[in-house]
Structure 1
Amino acid sequence: MPAAIDRPVHMLFTAGMSDRAMNTGGRRNAPQHIELMMTLPETWKLDSLGAADPEYWPIRVLAQLAREPLRRGTALGWGDTVANGEPPIPYAKGTALCGVIIAPSLLVPKDFYQLDVDRRHIEFYAAIPLYREELKLRADEGMETLLTRLLEHRVNDLVDPRRRNVTKKLFGLF
């Protein structure tokens, strides 16, 4: 969805990820059908964007994430992280972001979090880009620690390739 006067951001969505049920491994209350989104500033160049353009990486990330559950035979859901390789490498020149965490969007109304269609319950999550150190924080200390740190630093799901890394100290404070 391109930016508009009443919504000055671009919103990218997967379309079709929810067509197949994910293998949740019997986890109770884990959604079997999800779609993912990324929110980009209205200044993000989307017109005639090709795969070689440096600003194309969010589209590539969403496409890769949409295939991930089928490729791994598992599920993606709230709090999961996916790194861009092992070890994680930046998505593009000009950013050190190299992974994502799947979480509810802070930029859409809560009514948008789920949809029932054709006897399927679909949940919508944001793919929030992370730095390598933030991926490590999630692995070492858990999802709650990382999400708390992101919220404390007012990081939401608006993609900012140069945002501050929440694991780095600034003037002795986190």
Structure 2
Amino acid sequence: MGNIQLAKEIRTAIKQNNVEKVVELIGSDMELMNIVTPFGTWLHVAAKHGKLEIVKRLIDLGADINRRGGVFGGGAMNEAASKGHLDIVECLLSSGAEMDVSEPERNPLFAAILGGHIDIVNLLIENGIDIHVKYTGESMKNMDALAFAHERGQKEIAILLGSAKKEVYNDTAQNETTEMLDYIREHFGPIYQTISEIVPGSKVAVHIHIILPTKEQDFITLVTTGMSDVAMDETEESTGVKYAELVLKLPANWPIRKDDMANNNHYWPLKWLRMVAHIPHSYDGWLEAGVILPNGEPPMPFAANTALSCILLKETEAGRFIDSVNRVIDFFTLLPIYEEERQIALQKGSDYLIETFDEYGISDVLNLKRKNIGLDG
């Protein structure tokens, strides 16, 4: 059977809700399972047509639930949300599907608003989708979900989104956080997900915001908030950095789902981001560009799959944020380095090391197997 004919038969079987036929045609061929047709993957097709049992079977067989495709160029959840298939959106969420807000066309919340599916809007809000992300392009300017609902005449959905916003902005501290989040979205991109913490007795609670790759930025960006809730040095004589937040860049394919965090090979960058954010508040010190933090002494590799063993703090392109009460908040990028590179910095200074990285074309994006310039003699 030719590829075109096979594709037609699979699509027909999905539309007819013939579960066994779909399984028989695809078999164990994972390439065929995740092939992207003009209609998206087979999971896109099943989600669009509301075929819940087929969606479940495809997921069980190993379908990539986050593969992009289809009319909107997003995930299968986007197709289900646009057509009002609440049960399939629920299924995809429970299976760990991402709520992609990198572009308005991929955002399932915008898809649900466009279709007028308030039940799906409510479900997505309950599952923590970012309702504040704003988009600017050919058809919209600085538009968030609430503005989009008003534009599309979806009054009930607009009321629901408005009440959700009130819950988020219900106190001064949260308003300050929102001010910071707007700055992060402007300088780093839409926030896909936030990993929060509750630490009894700690001065601050550090939140890690995940920003997915885009066409312009082929990497995942992690940005903290909460570290700057308390000054690193509260003495009036202090002339150094008082308030700071941190940034760490990961490869675009880095595993960041909740289940991935059980593996230290995946978790250690997030662990160190949080640890570094707590250092000034746990040890009465402060951080600034050029500081190097070793993983023990002598430094040990962060994980079994890399020899990187130290963290260098450097200035980031976001620069400084000045909030509404005139607090100056610096952003520092965490750059994992080798012990041999730390020795270069100790001998010649951190600025020299950073300049050498630039000469070698070493970027801020984590590369587990990158060249160790400290071994270059």
TM-score (norm 2): 0.41
Partner of 1:152: 359
The structure with higher relative contact order (CA 8 Å, sep 6+) is 1
Letter in 2 for 1:136: Q
Bigger drift between 156-165 and 146-155 goes to: 146-155
> 5+ residue gaps in structure 2?
1-210
Distance 1:151 1:5, change over 3 A: closer
CA contact (8 A) 1:24 1:74 kept: no
> 5+ residue gaps in structure 1?
none
Q: Distance in 2 between matches of 1:148 and 1:117?
A: 31
CA contact (8 A) 2:264 2:303 kept: no
SS at match of 1:78: coil
Deviations 1:41-80 (A, max 9, x none): 1111112321434111110110110111122211101111
SS at match of 1:10: strand
SS at match of 2:373: coil
SS at match of 1:134: helix
Partner of 1:141: 348
Q: Distance in 1 between matches of 2:332 and 2:277?
A: 12
Higher strand share: 1
Deviations 1:4-51 (A, max 9, x none): 3343211011221111101287453x2100101111111111123214
Answering whether residue 302 of structure 2 is matched by residue 91 of structure 1, we say yes
Alpha-carbon offset, residue 137 of structure 1: 1.4
Match of 1:71 among 274, 282, 285: 282
> What is the percent sequence identity of the aligned residues?
27
Alpha-carbon offset, residue 131 of structure 1: 0.3
User: Counterparts of 1:5-84 in structure 2 under 5 Å?
Assistant: 5-23=215-233, 26=237, 28=239, 30-48=240-258, 49-84=260-295
Partner of 2:95: none
Alpha-carbon offset, residue 3 of structure 1: 1.8
Match of 1:128 among 335, 351, 356: 335
Q: Distance in 2 between matches of 1:137 and 1:104?
A: 19
Larger radius of gyration: 2
Match of 1:100 among 296, 311, 330: 311
Bigger drift between 146-155 and 122-131 goes to: 146-155
Letter in 1 for 2:349: G
CA contact (8 A) 1:23 1:32 kept: yes
Distance 1:88 1:160, change over 3 A: same
CA contact (8 A) 1:41 1:159 kept: yes
Q: Distance in 2 between matches of 1:50 and 1:144?
A: 33
Distance 1:122 1:51, change over 3 A: farther
SS at match of 2:375: coil
Q: Distance in 2 between matches of 1:130 and 1:16?
A: 25
TM-score (norm 1): 0.86
Q: RMSD of aligned C-alpha atoms?
A: 1.8
SS at match of 1:115: strand
Letter in 1 for 2:255: K
Q: Distance in 2 between matches of 1:36 and 1:114?
A: 12
CA contact (8 A) 2:246 2:331 kept: yes
Distance 1:152 1:6, change over 3 A: closer
Bigger drift between 19-28 and 117-126 goes to: 19-28
Distance 1:76 1:24, change over 3 A: farther
Answering whether residue 319 of structure 2 is matched by residue 113 of structure 1, we say yes
Kindly report structure 1 stretches of 4+ aligned residues shifted beyond 4 Å.
24-27
Answering whether residue 377 of structure 2 is matched by residue 166 of structure 1, we say no
